[in-house]
Chains A and B, each alone.
Chain A
């Protein structure tokens, strides 16, 4: 198991978080606490506000109401809105990962796979070429990409390989928190299973905290400890993942759960 600073101290705290676009409310009054090593799934249909919420939590959007606080490596919980430029850079480049649904958004498609992984290391000051290449190569192996493809650009990769490469690029700096937006979204079912299994292993091995947005309840069940169900911009039900999925309380959650087709 990975070491943690203090597992009993929250890593991220959202309080009364909301976002309006003019008169349109994208999400409102979201509050929760995420602890180190915890995986939270945010589920709901398109338009439920889950992607907006992910952008608010990862400081890519400014909230209209409420705030997000994050425990920096010095152990102090700080409001994201009040961070300086250097601290924000540290979060984006090192302490956080962000896995996009479309790997083309999270990768540089025209440079080699090795450079895609190595770039995050160079951004945090690594400058020894051999060491960067070795680390990139060992990460390709961890995400089950043939290291013989290290010099190929991701545009020559399949969808599943691109997604695994994006994960390697994110995890190479040893982040404590990873945001994932529909990480298995555009993939074939067989490729999804492999990716989920890989992510599940990595998250528990590295003791990562993660916030995963998905409309797929199977993804939530496999990856997450806790789940938040969103509808119309609000959190309508929350709890332990297997509890919410096996014993759903809210009408909408019951509808979601009962809409899964048996395999």
Chain B
């Protein structure tokens, strides 16, 4: 009733025109919901379509059938049928996405990369940077790196910048694609804490995590993606 995400019978197939029109079914009959303050973890082997489902919820992949209901500014929007500008509005004020890899603009300083989502939502530069600094410090990114663009950082550092960028906004839905994959134990613990805090704030989350220990720590519910297997 008050689910933040409500997916029913969503379906995705890739048609590879350059390979003679081969059809690559990814998922079919995807149906689950996520309540506020709940973290749903998608499980299943590699290639089962977990990332594709996350991308469909973000509007990055198109849906061939079904419905992706998102509670957005007091109403429910079907993202599978939404106009581009509605999707953008949902991304600005409702859904955040923490991808596995950082896609940053060259030349932009780390602190500004992290502060950007707040500035885009109209928060002043100084305040946004202050909040960005707090998160970067928690994620153990040394202050001397903040003025540098993250492109030269190590994989783990880039991922932490990415996490800071994803967690800084107060968005009611967060999608997490392997947020702890290349992190050490101390930083994994920080991410688990951040997820706990988001839950307490009522944020609905969908996550992909391969690490069993982390999964047990954060999951309120596990959705097995193999049940949506579409292979003919």
Q: Do these two chains really belong together in a complex?
A: yes
- Listed in ascending order, the chain A residues whose CB lies under 8 Å from chain B are 1, 35, 38, 193-194, 196-197, 200, 204, 222, 225-226, 239-240, 242-243, 246-247, 249-251, 254-255, 258
* Binary flags per residue of B49-70, CB closer than 8 Å to A gives 1, else 0: 0000001000111100000000
B186 at interface by CB-CB < 8 Å = no
Whole-angstrom distance between the Cβ of A87 and the nearest chain B Cβ: 27
B122 at interface by CB-CB < 8 Å = yes
B145 at interface by CB-CB < 8 Å = no
Residues of B within 8 A of A242 (CB): 60
Residues of A within 8 A of B201 (CB): none
**Known A-B contacts A222-B105, A247-B62; A254 and B17 likewise in contact (beta carbons under 8 Å):** yes
B120 at interface by CB-CB < 8 Å = yes
Whole-angstrom distance between the Cβ of B72 and the nearest chain A Cβ: 15
A243 & B61 in contact (Cβ 8 Å cutoff): yes
B1 at interface by CB-CB < 8 Å = no
Residues of B within 8 A of A239 (CB): 62, 84
B216 at interface by CB-CB < 8 Å = no
Residues of A within 8 A of B16 (CB): 254
Q: Which of B121-163 contact A (CB under 8 A)?
A: 122
A240 & B84 in contact (Cβ 8 Å cutoff): yes
C-alpha spacing A197/B116, complex, angstroms: 14
B18 at interface by CB-CB < 8 Å = yes
Nearest 5 Cβ contacts at the A-B interface: A251-B17, A240-B84, A247-B61, A193-B106, A226-B84
B108 at interface by CB-CB < 8 Å = yes
User: Contact check: which of B15, B88, B108, B120 meets A240 at CB < 8 Å?
Assistant: B88
C-alpha spacing A234/B32, complex, angstroms: 39
A contacts with B: majority SS? helix
User: Contact check: which of A1, A197, A247, A258 meets B106 at CB < 8 Å?
Assistant: A197
**Known A-B contacts A197-B107, A204-B120, A225-B88; A243 and B62 likewise in contact (beta carbons under 8 Å):** yes
C-alpha spacing A35/B15, complex, angstroms: 32
B200 at interface by CB-CB < 8 Å = no
**Known A-B contacts A204-B120, A243-B60; A197 and B18 likewise in contact (beta carbons under 8 Å):** no
> Across the A-B interface, how many residue pairs have beta carbons closer than 8 Å?
50
Most B Cβ at <10 Å: residue of A240, A251, A255: A240
Whole-angstrom distance between the Cβ of A200 and the nearest chain B Cβ: 7
Residues of A within 8 A of B85 (CB): 35, 38, 225
B55 & A246 in contact (Cβ 8 Å cutoff): yes
Closest B-chain residue to A259, C-beta based?
B18
**12 pairs, A vs B, C-beta closer than 8 Å:** A200-B105, A225-B84, A225-B85, A225-B88, A239-B62, A240-B87, A246-B55, A246-B60, A249-B62, A251-B18, A254-B16, A254-B18
Residues of B within 8 A of A258 (CB): 18
A193 & B107 in contact (Cβ 8 Å cutoff): yes
Residues of B within 8 A of A35 (CB): 85
Closest A-chain residue to B107, C-beta based?
A197
Whole-angstrom distance between the Cβ of B98 and the nearest chain A Cβ: 15
Closest A-chain residue to B89, C-beta based?
A7
Residues of A within 8 A of B60 (CB): 242-243, 246-247
Residues of B within 8 A of A222 (CB): 105
* Binary flags per residue of B183-221, CB closer than 8 Å to A gives 1, else 0: 000000000000000000000000000000000000000
Q: Which of B24-63 contact A (CB under 8 A)?
A: 55, 59-62
B105 & A197 in contact (Cβ 8 Å cutoff): yes
C-alpha spacing A35/B89, complex, angstroms: 13
Closest A-chain residue to B87, C-beta based?
A240
Whole-angstrom distance between the Cβ of B53 and the nearest chain A Cβ: 13
Whole-angstrom distance between the Cβ of B208 and the nearest chain A Cβ: 17
Most B Cβ at <10 Å: residue of A35, A239, A243: A243
Residues of B within 8 A of A200 (CB): 105
Q: A247-B61, A249-B62 are in contact. List 18 more A-B contacts (CB 8 A).
A: A193-B106, A193-B107, A197-B107, A204-B120, A226-B84, A239-B62, A239-B84, A240-B88, A243-B59, A243-B61, A243-B84, A246-B55, A246-B60, A247-B55, A247-B60, A254-B16, A254-B18, A255-B17
Residues of A within 8 A of B17 (CB): 250-251, 254-255
C-alpha spacing A193/B85, complex, angstroms: 26
Most A Cβ at <10 Å: residue of B60, B61, B85, B87: B85
